[in-house]
Structure 1
Amino acid sequence: MPFLARPRATPPEADVCVIVEGCYPFVPGGVSTWVDWLIKGHPHLTFAIVAIVADTAPREPRYQLPANVVDFRCLPLHRPFETASCRDAARPEGMEEALADAFILLVTGGGLAAFQRLVRLVADPRNAFTIQTLMVSPLSWRLTCRMYERLMPHASFLHFFWAWRALFGGLFAVLVSDLPRARVYHTISTGYAGLLAARAVIETGSPAFITEHGIYTNERRVEILMAEWICDTVDKGMDLDDGRVDLRDIWMQVFEAQALICYQACTRIVTLYEDNQRLQRALGAPGERLAVIPNGIDVARFEGLPQAAAEAPPTIALIGRVVPIKDVKSYIEAAAILRTRFPTLQALVLGPTDEDPAYFAECEACVAECGLADTVVFTGAVNIVAYLSRIHVVVLTSLSEAQPLVILEAGAAGIPCVATDVGSCREILEGRSDESPGLGAGGLVTALVDPQQTAGAVGRLLGDAAFRHACGETLRTRVRRYYASQDALDAYRRTYADLLQLSGDHAARRAS
């Protein structure tokens, strides 16, 4: 499939437009697998897909679009520009000040009302805005200077300039891109995907809703705190009352502003587990719109798989992409600790290695440094089912997760898990607070970035076959009872039906 900015022919109106950022159909696993499952699970509905990507580089799809997808387009957040033709145009008096005010209001928590002002300004034909005029023109330069003076004049202009372009270049792309026609808009995160859904609500009146797997804003916060490429330019010392903001503050303010806009625009706000709702409320989500629909898997796909033989070499597996947020290095270090007790240990890493080549190289160096060349195996992308019968324990060392499908799939196969205390991992392994009767432990939960604790938990399971079997069977029972695919599909079928009815009522009012 070629990189597609927009379809050549005008596509029909879809029942649902799914908006994704940085995943489907180009990145395998995780959320992408869920999106594919969702669309295929509703063959009676038609879908449009907007895949938000970083740039215009060619991308190879990893999924074939289902037959009920009638519109697919990519929305690149950043693209190269020809600057020679980007000159000032005549615009209404006071427009620049109004645009700057709208941006300030948006960044400082103005929510959907501030975003609506911005949408109207950009859509107004009298202002003659294009992505070029917003990014590479005398107007864009003056706007950048205004924002710098009003947001952080005490800091480095150079650093602010590039941060502004990175953050707001994506916003501008969302504001000027063509919207697919749909009766309902379904975003899979806040961020830029959430902004596009909010814009659809403003411009079309159609309802939108969100399904959050992980809390996008929280994941970005982790990345920003860890980012070495964001320069700290303000020295506040020990002064807790210093109100000056730095670049990290600006980045976080923008992502929090995006979340608030999305939540206020969405009719329903769905997440995978209850603890996420605490974070959603803290970011401004109206409590009466919140709902939980857990991930579901095809349990039957994993039935009948043989268990790993007790006499086989002890085998553990991290199932996921080799990227920093999965903290593969902690898994490797835990394997090094475990091998002193289990000399024949096999530690598999089942998942793509090409998403972050630099991090993969660091992981390979860690394997070499720990002398684990015969222990740790990077398989690349594989059919997970083909490996499950070899695995005694599945291990997850992620820094952030939502409701990991890999734990559900391992559980369906009767394999116990060791997981960090992120997302719904504890809920899956230990049971929800309202689980009745309580089933018990399906594995063990550890602290983040703690190879020693991870190794201890895995060692307990590997060293006690009876305990390992009991945990695996408990997890199997819990997954069958609470995380079946059909239950989740039924919940989304009802949600879509409700919102399509709402969309129809709105269209009828407009026509009358």
Structure 2
Amino acid sequence: MTARQPADICMILEGTYPYVAGGVSSWVHDVLQTHADRSFHLVCLLPDRQERKPRYTVPGNVVGIEHVYLQDIPTGSRSMPGDHRLFRRMEHGITALMEAGQLEDLALLDAALAPARRRLGRRRLLNSPAAWQSVLRLYDREMPEGSFLEFFWSWRSMMSSLFAVLLAEIPPARAYHTISTGYAGMLAARAHIETRRPALITEHGIYTNERRIEITMANWLHEVNAGSLTVQRKKRDLRDLWIDTFTGYSHCAYSAAWRIITLYGGNQDLQRRDGAPEERLQVIPNGIDYDRYSAVPRDTVGQPPTIALIGRVVPIKDVKTYIRAAAMLRQQIPDLQALILGPFDEDPGYGQECRDLVAMLGLGETVKFMGQVKLDDWLGRIDAIVLTSISEAQPLVILEAGAAGVPTVATDVGACREMILGPPDESPALGAGGAITPLANPQATATALAALLRNPETLAAASRAIQERVRLRYNKRHLDRIYGDLYAEAIALPDAAPVHLRTPRQRGFFARWRQQRQPGAT
């Protein structure tokens, strides 16, 4: 079989492009189009083999797309007598990762699986007698006082996803770029171990922190002795196990990464907490086409005061807080127009709840659902935009509106504070480009909007501030060059040194594995 020509960049994506629209996927699509002089190979991590329809037309510089199914690994060959030895070799790496392990632990696991990788699958790794004995040993070590049944199904879910990453074929590339830590980050780390080529991480939201929140709130995970009044230290439970495992995955990804990029400075505190080396951290914000949006003509003369929430009508955008804020603001500004510009078919139930709330509050003449629109056609008519989201990374709509001179009132999430009020080191300080409010607080939102809409001088100052900040810090043309330079530098780097394993036994095992990978080895 002819060896594949390496792509310039292998981009590793978990649950996003090209099958999910918006957000990170839009950013990925833009990167692929912007760097049309580079060849890309995509690896898409998906939960299962369910047929999915692409939401984007993939550009021609994408030379291949691979799929990795995290909960549906290949069947593989039947159990073999040597499987018990295989699991014994793997268990050090598995337990280390369950206890917030390191890159060397991933390297040991990878080396243990490598000789039989093409023959392995769920028969031997999940359903064999050796796998059963391994889960018993891991239970005794990790959570002996917890429910074995719950541990077993958690182990099975964890191991299926981990084995999917360890069994996947890695496309040859000159550099690997993952858009998160987690399983995508683990695959990038494995690619670095095996190919010795550089890996980059760009985190929009911080994967491990998002998983911590989900796991803490999960009602299917139960604490050990949750109802006990004992003063003894709480035993480790399934939440600890999941959080520690994802933390270990972050450690691996950060250790393997040549550059660790995020959108704003606040995210770096979370990256440092999860072990990201300070010297590899870098902030590259998302950018927008400043020339396009700054050319939008203003058309508010003679128009009623108009605000807009621009985004999907889904719970994470907390559209209900926006509607309640509009009801409060109308008491001060009777001719207020409050637009909702975005699709409302993603969560029809929530969309209907929002419509019902508008009717209940008597806002039919004030709040208008306009559906998905071309933003350029509307920004010139809007005095201020509103984000009441309970979670964001770096919402581009603030920048797009800001380039058109439209200030924003937003909740204190993600990079919103930095974009609207400016970073701590802004020089010269440009002033507020709107206002920041607490989560789920319609009164604070209404008050901030009233301060803008009822004071023309304040509104004009906010308009100037946000437009200048976007011009100086978030112009896409400048930011595109930064990524272009990073890709060029990564591709030109020499191969990295082999991963250093910590014990003589690990080093010997890894050396034998590398020898088996040499051309002509049997």
Moved more, 48-57 or 208-217: 48-57
Change (3 A) 1:175 1:339: farther
Change (3 A) 1:367 1:237: farther
How far 1:320 moved relative to its partner? 3.0
**Counterpart position of 1:403:** 394
Match of 1:197, as an amino acid? A
**Counterpart position of 2:67:** 74
Secondary structure at the residue paired with 1:260? helix
**Counterpart position of 2:107:** 116
Change (3 A) 1:253 1:324: farther
Question: Sequence identity, in percent?
Answer: 48
Change (3 A) 1:46 1:374: same
Task: Name the CA distance, whole Å, in 1 between partners of 2:157 and 2:338.
Answer: 39
- Say whether residues 1:47 and 2:46 are aligned partners: no
**Counterpart position of 2:199:** 208
**Counterpart position of 1:3:** none
**Superposition pairs for residues 88-103 of structure 1, below 5 Å?**
88-91=79-82, 93-103=84-94
State whether residues 87 and 138 of structure 1, in contact with CA within 8 Å, keep that contact through their aligned partners in structure 2: no
- Say whether residues 1:178 and 2:169 are aligned partners: yes
**Counterpart position of 2:409:** 418
**Superposition pairs for residues 327-346 of structure 1, below 5 Å?**
327-346=318-337
Match for residue 455 of structure 1 among 428, 438, 446:
446
State whether residues 236 and 242 of structure 1, in contact with CA within 8 Å, keep that contact through their aligned partners in structure 2: no
State whether residues 186 and 252 of structure 2, in contact with CA within 8 Å, keep that contact through their aligned partners in structure 1: yes
How far 1:197 moved relative to its partner? 0.4
- Say whether residues 1:125 and 2:116 are aligned partners: yes
Task: Name the CA distance, whole Å, in 2 between partners of 1:311 and 1:239.
Answer: 68
State whether residues 198 and 265 of structure 1, in contact with CA within 8 Å, keep that contact through their aligned partners in structure 2: yes
Flag structure 2 segments of 5+ consecutive residues without an equivalent: 499-516
Change (3 A) 1:56 1:437: same
Change (3 A) 1:237 1:132: same
Moved more, 390-399 or 92-101: 92-101
- Write the deviation string for residues 2-32 of structure 1: whole angstroms up to 9, x where unpaired: xxxxxx9986321001112222122222222
**Counterpart position of 1:156:** 147
Secondary structure at the residue paired with 1:267? strand
How far 1:322 moved relative to its partner? 3.9
**Counterpart position of 1:427:** 418
Moved more, 382-391 or 471-480: 382-391
Moved more, 131-140 or 275-284: 131-140
Match for residue 273 of structure 2 among 267, 282, 303:
282
Moved more, 265-274 or 219-228: 219-228
Match of 2:30, as an amino acid? W
**Counterpart position of 1:501:** 492
Change (3 A) 1:371 1:172: farther
Match of 2:155, as an amino acid? W
Match for residue 54 of structure 2 among 61, 72, 95:
61
Match of 1:227, as an amino acid? A
Change (3 A) 1:505 1:92: closer
**Counterpart position of 1:197:** 188
How far 1:412 moved relative to its partner? 0.8
Task: Name the CA distance, whole Å, in 2 between partners of 1:44 and 1:126.
Answer: 34
Moved more, 321-330 or 477-486: 321-330
**Counterpart position of 1:260:** 251
Match of 2:63, as an amino acid? V
**Superposition pairs for residues 485-496 of structure 1, below 5 Å?**
485-496=476-487
State whether residues 21 and 53 of structure 1, in contact with CA within 8 Å, keep that contact through their aligned partners in structure 2: yes
Match of 1:21, as an amino acid? E
Match of 1:169, as an amino acid? S
**Counterpart position of 2:25:** 32
Task: Name the CA distance, whole Å, in 2 between partners of 1:305 and 1:126.
Answer: 56
How far 1:182 moved relative to its partner? 0.7
How far 1:179 moved relative to its partner? 1.2
State whether residues 72 and 160 of structure 2, in contact with CA within 8 Å, keep that contact through their aligned partners in structure 1: no
Change (3 A) 1:240 1:95: farther
State whether residues 198 and 496 of structure 2, in contact with CA within 8 Å, keep that contact through their aligned partners in structure 1: no
Change (3 A) 1:488 1:344: same
How far 1:369 moved relative to its partner? 5.3
Q: Alignment RMSD, CA only? A: 3.0
Match for residue 392 of structure 1 among 380, 383, 403:
383
Secondary structure at the residue paired with 1:389? helix
Moved more, 367-376 or 222-231: 367-376
- Write the deviation string for residues 95-141 of structure 1: whole angstroms up to 9, x where unpaired: 32332332111111221111111112222318942144333444444
Aligned length: 500
Match for residue 472 of structure 1 among 463, 474, 480:
463
Task: Name the CA distance, whole Å, in 2 between partners of 1:377 and 1:225.
Answer: 37
Change (3 A) 1:455 1:162: farther
How far 1:267 moved relative to its partner? 0.9
TM-score normalised per structure 1: 0.88
**Superposition pairs for residues 353-364 of structure 1, below 5 Å?**
353-356=344-347, 359-360=350-351, 363=354
Match of 1:76, as an amino acid? Y
Match of 2:457, as an amino acid? A
**Counterpart position of 1:293:** 284
State whether residues 272 and 293 of structure 1, in contact with CA within 8 Å, keep that contact through their aligned partners in structure 2: yes
